[in-house]
Chains A and B, each alone.
Chain A
């Protein structure tokens, strides 16, 4: 692994962000809109239902967590798509970069992009709604870490698809998060789902993360098992995504996708 090369690829995307105010605005805009929207919705529920009466910030906190996941995953995909759209893909793959270096650089860049969007949104919740996501305490870090891992795992899986199938896989890149959202039990407890869906949901780390966030906020207790399960499933999917990415790279070398990308 070469830090210089990893930094080089990071620089390529960092320059892009710093050169364009609309890009920075785009990173900040959507999380802020999401948080504001869900903040008012949760305020409404808090005053009109009994379930959320004692936990006004639950929906809002989950919205912030989900948005962090969404931004991380889409952010990773965007980094890869950006190379295809700018027709720079071949230049990148003929540079002497190991696959591990490319992935490390994109993972770090995706984190920074997600944080650029998340930090203003988090800061906004307190003055607007009197809620702080920091109420989750030290476990907030583990929940974010878990979401970040799953976000980049999805990003790597989609990028593997782009390598394997070319730009036509782009539509899948946009729809992954929407496909998984119902199973993630982001805004509702898992019991709401039909039995079959519950079985699927338990195979994803998301359900453990969001169940635990609600548990901490509503019951004021911590179930370590949920956090452990989330990391366990994250580990499984992360390793799977890396293996699949290497496999897709080899398939792309056989099929010629790498030289036709962007055409």
Chain B
């Protein structure tokens, strides 16, 4: 399988504070990689660097074989991102928002793409609604539609099902699984929902204090640490001293 994301020894310092201390990983196509870690472990900084919003202090990032530095625009055409901490303009209708982002990503057949995503993400009947007046679950699906408007090869998800009810959360997880399989895309999933990570991720990176302290598939990690589930592994690693240095 081809690696769509390759991260080589990236570091990020904010003055004297080392937020990310030289991490490397890769994500194959048709793979969901879980990025776990307590608050302040460096997950958001890592995602920021992958999105080109943050410049690494050192190290290199390759997306679909292209180096991020010097090819930011070409790479941004191939990736997308959702997070509960960013929103679409609230006063615009769903269709207007998707049209605007369709234009920003230079999608040729915007209406067809919107129609496709509307059907896949159960957005029928919502297109002319004001985005700010939607429920959390509806907003989440609209954000997901925006994130898929450019048919990204790499999708970065930060807490994609936070604040969703179990039914909508399950719908989103099933959708992501199927979409990844169908389109052979790579997904980086940062989440504090351990059941979600266990269900979706083939492999996991555990971060703490800016480094990767452990990695493996969920079952391996559970067995290795002699715990019942991933949540217990997370707690053990979060509270212990760094395992891999």
Chain A partners chain B: yes
Partner of A256, one of B54, B104, B105: B54
Digit string of B38-63 for contact with A (CB within 8 Å is 1, else 0)?
A: 00000011001001111100000000
Contact residues in B for A254 (Cβ distance below 8 Å) = 54-55
Given A20-B91, A86-B90, A259-B44; A94-B51 close (CB under 8 Å): yes
| A/B pair count, beta carbons within 8 Å | 105
Partner of B87, one of A87, A95, A255: A87
> In the complex, what residue of chain B is closest to A87 when comparing beta carbons?
B87
Apart from A8-B103, A11-B100, A90-B86, list 19 A-B contacts with CB within 8 A.
Answer: A2-B106, A4-B106, A8-B104, A9-B100, A11-B103, A12-B92, A12-B100, A86-B87, A88-B86, A91-B86, A91-B87, A93-B53, A94-B76, A250-B55, A253-B54, A256-B48, A259-B53, A259-B54, A263-B85
Contact residues in A for B89 (Cβ distance below 8 Å) = 12, 16, 82, 86, 88
Partner of B83, one of A4, A20, A90: A90
Contact residues in B for A250 (Cβ distance below 8 Å) = 55
Q: Does A7 contact B (CB under 8 A)?
A: yes
Asked whether, in the complex, the Cβ of A15 is within 8 Å of the Cβ of B105, the reply is no
In residues 1-60 of chain B, which contact A (Cβ within 8 Å)? Answer: 14, 44-45, 48, 51-55
Asked whether, in the complex, the Cβ of A97 is within 8 Å of the Cβ of B104, the reply is yes
Contact residues in A for B101 (Cβ distance below 8 Å) = 8, 91, 95
| A to B CB contacts below 8 Å, 20 in the list | A11-B99, A11-B100, A12-B92, A15-B92, A16-B91, A16-B92, A82-B89, A86-B87, A87-B86, A88-B89, A90-B85, A91-B86, A91-B88, A96-B72, A253-B53, A253-B55, A255-B14, A258-B53, A259-B48, A259-B51
State A87–B87 Cα separation when bound (angstroms): 5
CB distance from B223 to the nearest CB of A (A): 36
Q: Does A48 contact B (CB under 8 A)?
A: no
State A86–B91 Cα separation when bound (angstroms): 9
> In the complex, what residue of chain B is closest to A96 when comparing beta carbons?
B76
CB distance from B66 to the nearest CB of A (A): 13
